[in-house]
Structure 1
Amino acid sequence: MSKPDDRSNNKERIENNIGHTLQNMDEAKDYAKAHSEELSEEEMSQIKEKNQRREESIEGLREEAKDEAHNQKDV
């Protein structure tokens, strides 16, 4: 028998993912700043591109968190 679908902690899980992603962005920025003289243009570009993807992911996660909060109110 399969487990019932428990979504009671989705909002908290999504908020946790947002926090981790923001932390990763900050760490990448700090790393790039501290090692800018040692990194090639390509490496710096990769860091910037990855942070851009992280930003886009955060936007989606925030929308998902809003949906979950709305769904929890309806239950």
Structure 2
Amino acid sequence: MTHNQKPNPDDRSDNVEKLQNMVQDTIQNIEKSEETMALSDGQDQQKIREKNKRREEAIKGFKQEIKDEYQ
């Protein structure tokens, strides 16, 4: 049994839109986690801070990709 699988074409026409949605979703996740942090203990608060730091780094990466798409 053979499978003739072809790679999907590289369609980047909506890349910027997808990246912008990812930025917005990540910002919303940060905001929600900050609300949760107010109800959490010290250890959980630290985990949330660390995760939000990673989220902020991801946002920087998304914004750089958006910038690259316009060049």
TMscore range, shorter length: 0.7 to 0.9
Gaps of 5+ in 2: 1-5
Other-structure match for 1:17: 22
Other-structure match for 1:73: none
Other-structure match for 1:48: 49
Runs of 4+ in 1 over 3 A off after TM superposition: none
* Structure 2 length-normalised TM: 0.85
* Structure 1 length-normalised TM: 0.81
Amino acid corresponding to residue 55 of structure 1 in structure 2: E
1: distance between equivalents of 2:53 and 2:19?
19
Other-structure match for 1:60: 61
Q: Equivalent pairs: percent with the same residue?
A: 38
Gaps of 5+ in 1: 71-75
Equivalent position SS for 1:17: helix
Structure with the higher helix share, 1 or 2: 1
Write the deviation string for residues 34-69 of structure 1: whole angstroms up to 9, x where unpaired: x1xxx2211010001000000011001100010012
Matched pairs, number? 66
